[in-house]
Amino acid sequence: MNKKGSIYLIALGSIIVILGAIMYLVEILGAKGMIILGFLTELSGVYFYWKNKRKK
C-alpha cells in the first residue's frame, strides 16, 4: 500500500469512528463495534503510512 492509500485509510477510519459515536449517542445497536472497526482501520492506515515513509 502506498502513502496516499494509507492516508485514505486513516481518513476512512476517522469517518467510521465519528459515525459510530453518533450512532452510539442515538443508541443504535452495533455502534460500539463500528467505533472499534474504525479505530482498527485508522491503526492499519497509520501502520502502512509509517512503513512506506521509512522506505522513501
pLDDT for 31 equals 67
Give the rounded distance of the alpha carbon of 25 from its chain centre: 19
Nearest to 14 by CA among 53, 43, 47: 43
Q: What is the distance between the alpha carbons of residues 3 and 16, in angstroms, rounded to a whole number? A: 20
- The pLDDT, as a whole number, for residue 56 is 59
> Tens digit of pLDDT for each residue in 2-56?
778 888 888 888 888 888 777 776 665 566 777 777 888 888 888 888 888 776 5
How is residue 13 written as a grid cell?
477510519
CA–CA distance, 33 with 36 (Å, rounded to integer)? 5
